[in-house]
Amino acid sequence: MSASSLQTFQNQVSELLLRHRSLIDVLSKNGQADASVNRAVSKAITDCGCIELHATKQSYAHNGDLEDAKSSVQTHVHGDLCDQCKEVISSELGRNLFYMSALCNLLNIQLEEVLEDEAKKCSTLGIFNLS
C-alpha cells in the first residue's frame, strides 16, 4: 500500500466511523479485531486443516553467521492457506487495519508516519531491531 493510499484509507475510516467514536470503544473494537485474526488462523489449523502447526524450540546455529541463523529458524507452519481461509483471514486483517486507523484518527496520528518511522527503525537498527 503506498503512502497516499494509506492516507486515503485513514481519511475514509474517519468518514465511516460513526458508531465507535469513543476512544474506549475503538480500543475494545481493536482488541476484538486482533482476537478475530487469531481465531481465524486457529480455525485454519483446527477446523479446515489447510495449514498445520508444528511448534518446537527454535535452535540457532551458535557458530554461524546471521544468514545461517536466519535459515535455521522455523515458522512452524506447514502447508498453505486454502482460498476460503485466506479470504477469511484477509478480511479479519482488513478489519484490524480499520480499527488501527480509527485509533490513529482519534489520537491525531498519521498511519503513514507510523509506517515510515517503523521502516526507518528497521533500516537503521537492522538485526538489532529483533523482537
Distances (CA, A) of 11 to 75, 83, 114: 35, 30, 15
In the predicted model, residues of the chain with pLDDT beneath 70 are 1-3, 19-20, 60-62, 64-72, 74, 125-131
Supply the Cα-derived Rg of the chain in whole angstroms.
Answer: 18
Fold classified for 21-129: Helix Hairpins (1.10.287)
Domain segments of the chain: what residues?
A: 21-129
At 98 the pLDDT is: 95
pTM, to two decimals = 0.81
- Identify the burial level of 111 via C-beta atoms within 10 angstroms of its C-beta, where 0-12 means exposed, 13-18 middle and 19 or more buried: buried
At 85 the pLDDT is: 98
Measured in Å, how far apart are the chain's first and last C-alpha atoms?
A: 24
- Distance, CA of 51 to chain centre: 18
Question: pLDDT digit string (tens) for 67-93?
Answer: 666 666 767 899 999 999 999 999 999
